[in-house]
Chain A
Amino acid sequence: MSLIDIRRVFTQVEDIYHEGGPRAAQPLRRGAIAAVLTNPYAGRYEADILPMMEALNPVGLDLARRLLAAMDVPVERIQGYGKGAIIGAAGELEHGALWHVPGGYAMRELLGWKGDAAAYAKGISSGGQSGNALAIVPSTKKVGGPGATLDVPLTHINAAYVRSHFDAMEVRVPGAPRPDEMIVILAMSTGARVHARVGGLAADAIAKWDGQR
């Protein structure tokens, strides 16, 4: 029996024109996609949960593609990303941690990352500039009841220290997760905060291409 049983898919795309300041010529577009699925380890302690991490790989790729399609922009316009998970009450935080690799890898691959997936899975850098999406995908996770909100962090896809792109998007699926479910989430954005003006590393000043600066 497959470990993957997706009950519900929730997609949200938003255009932010302004936040009390000058109206943006091109609005900031942010999107998130959330899959509500059965937690195969709910209700008990399971020592070996890695099979689910493997099983989530195609889910990650499918969600990343669906999110990009829903955002309706060319892949080159994606500048920020993040991910997260909400685990229903009969699960544990560690179940949400299963999403780190499949969720992050899926988005990075979609956005043009050319690194070594096997090395990435083991946490080893493949070195050098490996295309786009060099930065770690920021994440957050928690255990929550139906309708719990998660603030999914967003950072620049190539340099984690780009200050204008530090952001977060609140994601919430009304009615989910049930106790034996978990929600896995991907988020992407097309740019900086709409009125970004607190200095720091700018996106056009990325120089090291090490995923950070």
Chain B
Amino acid sequence: MTIEVPSYVRKLVVQVDEIRREMGRDVAPPTRRALAMAVITNPYAGRYEENLDALISIGEALGALLGERCVQALGITPAQAQSYGKAAIVGEAGELEHAAAILHPKLGAPLRKAVEKGAALVPSAKKQGGVGTAVDVPLGHKDAAFVRSHFDAIEARVSDAPRANEIVVAVAVTDSGRPLPRIGGLQAHEIVGQDGLR
């Protein structure tokens, strides 16, 4: 099933970053991180609005759309997703709170549905910026935030966005942790996955 792209989306970008080798060693299986980004019109650009409900609804729709696109790009079942993250870049005519409205109230639930379960917090980042601004989307294990091998980040950037009245919304999903994790801590196979932490 493919979710229809809403009319407020100007551009949709999907990336897959596959790492097969690192420092001369095989990464087996390769790590794969998907990133889906939507460039949208900011309905509140250029003015102060007390109520940000329109962006909250947009966040809900994009959580489902971008989550689904990531899972599709990886060619996995939702249950095979291992970590996730989200971020937004608000153009110059908007404010940081616009990113918060997209990311925090309602984006998480449909994203968790797209990756199945998702007991852990979806780590996030937000900023304001001009065209071509990059944001580092934090990544954490979807069911247990303390899994150390899955602490990571992926850079999100759309070369021609955000224009002043736009917002870039990014969701990242992986089927793996870092390429050669070896700093100990909680392991993915040890988690309970109930409290979102361990």
Contacts and interface: CB of A to CB of B under 8 A. Distances in A.
B18 A16 contact: no
B3 interface: no
B53 interface: no
Interface string A1-30: 000011111111111111110010001000
Interface string B15-36: 1111111100000000000000
Interface in B1-47: 5, 7, 9-22
Nearest to B156: A174
Contacts of B13: 12-15
Contacts of A12: 13-15
A14 B14 contact: yes
Contacts of A149: 159
Contacts of A174: 17, 134, 154-155
Given A7-B22, A8-B17, A9-B18, A19 B10 contact: yes
B18 A18 contact: no
A49 interface: no
Given A15-B5, A70-B73, A174-B155, A10 B10 contact: no
A187 to B, nearest CB: 13
B157 interface: yes
B20 A6 contact: yes
A149 B73 CA distance: 23
Interface in B50-100: 73
Q: How large is the interface on B (under 10, 10 to 19, 20 to 34, 35 or more residues)?
A: 20 to 34
Main secondary structure of the interface of A (DSSP, over half): strand
A132 B184 CA distance: 54
Given A15-B5, A174-B155, A8 B19 contact: yes
A149 B10 CA distance: 22
Contacts of A11: 15-18, 73
A4 B15 CA distance: 23
A7 B73 contact: no
Given A5-B21, A7-B21, A70-B16, A15 B11 contact: yes
B159 A170 contact: yes
Given A14-B11, A16-B10, A16-B11, A8 B20 contact: yes
A16 to B, nearest CB: 5
Interface in B121-135: 134
A10 B16 contact: yes
Nearest to A18: B10
Given A15-B12, A17-B9, A70-B73, A10 B17 contact: yes
